[in-house]
Structure 1
Amino acid sequence: ARGIDPKVSNDFGPKIGLNVTFIVTAIVFNEQQEVLMIQEARSKCAGSWYLPAGRVQPTELLETAIKRAVLAESGLCFEPISIIKVESSHGNWFRFVYAGRITGGQLKTASKADEQSIQACYVNDVGQLTLRSQDCLPLIEFARDYYRNGKSWHSPQLICQRYVPNLYMRLIVTVWDGKIGKHRVLIAHSLSPHLPICQLNPTRSVHSTLKRFMQYIFSGNNGISNNSVVPPHKPIGLIAIEYNYAKQSDQYDGLCLTLLVHCKSADSPVHNSFTWITLSDNGEQLITEKLSSRHKTIAHSVL
């Protein structure tokens, strides 16, 4: 069921603060379409500006972390509505970008400066600020589009709170079958039928793991990835994100990303552990919707 060998030690287990990092970031606008920014207090970037953000702590849910971070840095109570983007660097650093609304609190002023931040304010022209990093600029414009045109995006979606024992990527690999006028989906049929899933290599990018997994899937009956002929395909976006923190000392802070991938053809032979199936009417409706626009799935990018 795990598919490819991630080529990491069998002893590896993701632990927040030890060998994996989860960052949460909030992007929220006021009625004047100004974006909430905070002025950093940390010595290495003191005085510069950035979006409200923070590291997820051990035994903390992601939604709890973003509420804590926004309150500590801006003085405002934030209610997350949806994750709109996930960014990753290697397979052990992830940033979750949230859209949401302010439900209370008082905007922090310089008189309330502490180790979390100097102050917070709503900003019209972020480009005029001294920024901690320019990488927030495309995120702000991405979120602005979500707030303006949310009805054409995916429905609000938060983390599925489900314990995952490690770092995984689950694939929904689709292809259009013109003969029957429906999409087909690839499933693994070892043990019981399920969507293909593999462990993420914490030292390699998510795209690198995807490439190796697709080579394994389309390696034909010989199972030799080096001889595989992978059909042209495109990662569309994330369908679901599963996470829950370890509740016992022998558990890990795992994560599972479910990625939709669309293939142009099903001509390439698949490994004998996989097969194509035809979708039910409900499944067909869901996949057709998700493929209809780039905003119908949660965006994912590799930094």
Structure 2
Amino acid sequence: MRVNCVGAIVLDDARRLLLIRRGHPPDAGRWSLPGGRVEPGESDAVAVRREVLEETGLEVAVGPLAGTVDLPAPRGDTYAVRDYRATVVGGTLTPGDDAADARWCTREELARLQLTTGLLDTLRSWRVLPT
């Protein structure tokens, strides 16, 4: 089964990338983009705004689709993830929901963090890494 999911690629004014440390499986303890499942009846934009707010305390305006990726999910399912560019419009950075932590990261810091599998290569291929 394909599970519809969304994620957010958010850069601040200093060109740092917003990441969350996953608090639950899959990939608990690893850093990733904020995001999650699209709930029944939600548009992608509504899901992105909800997930970012729940996981980071930040309100975002959702921009264009940056890319899509299929990731393995439990029980042989597939997470069909659509990642969107987004811009912070309010809120205060505070980890919540299933995020154990949340932070802004420079390009150099990304190389040192334990990221979810394939994240760095995917962001590089989409040309959305911080400069």
Cα displacement string for residues 88-114 of structure 1 (whole angstroms, at most 9, x for unaligned residues): 47xx752211012110010015xxxx5
More strand by share: 2
TM-score, normalisation: structure 2: 0.79
Structure number, greater radius of gyration:
1
Against the structure 1 CA distance between its residues 88 and 43, is the aligned structure 2 distance closer, same or farther, given a 3 Å change threshold? closer
Task: State whether residues 42 and 115 of structure 1, in contact with CA within 8 Å, keep that contact through their aligned partners in structure 2.
Answer: no
Q: What residue in structure 1 maps to residue 110 of structure 2?
A: 126
- Structure of greater relative contact order (alpha carbons < 8 Å, 6+ residues apart): 2
Structure 1 consecutive aligned stretches of length 4 or more whose deviation exceeds 6 Å: none
Number of aligned residues: 123
Against the structure 1 CA distance between its residues 143 and 98, is the aligned structure 2 distance closer, same or farther, given a 3 Å change threshold? farther
Partners in 2 of 1:120 and 1:129 — Cα distance?
13
Q: What residue in structure 1 maps to residue 86 of structure 2?
A: 100
Partners in 2 of 1:39 and 1:27 — Cα distance?
15
Question: 1:107 is paired with a residue of what secondary structure?
Answer: coil
The match for 2:59 among 61, 77, 96 is 77
Task: State whether residues 25 and 53 of structure 1, in contact with CA within 8 Å, keep that contact through their aligned partners in structure 2.
Answer: yes
- Percent pairwise identity: 25
Return 5+ residue gaps in structure 1 as ranges.
1-18, 149-303
Partners in 1 of 2:89 and 2:47 — Cα distance?
16
1:163-178 aligned within 5 A: none
Against the structure 1 CA distance between its residues 93 and 123, is the aligned structure 2 distance closer, same or farther, given a 3 Å change threshold? closer
Alpha-carbon offset, residue 58 of structure 1: 1.3
* Pair 1:23-2:5 in alignment: yes
TM-score, normalisation: structure 1: 0.37
Partners in 2 of 1:44 and 1:85 — Cα distance?
21
Alpha-carbon offset, residue 86 of structure 1: 2.2
Q: What residue in structure 2 maps to residue 138 of structure 1?
A: 121
Return 5+ residue gaps in structure 2 as ranges.
72-77
Against the structure 1 CA distance between its residues 53 and 143, is the aligned structure 2 distance closer, same or farther, given a 3 Å change threshold? farther
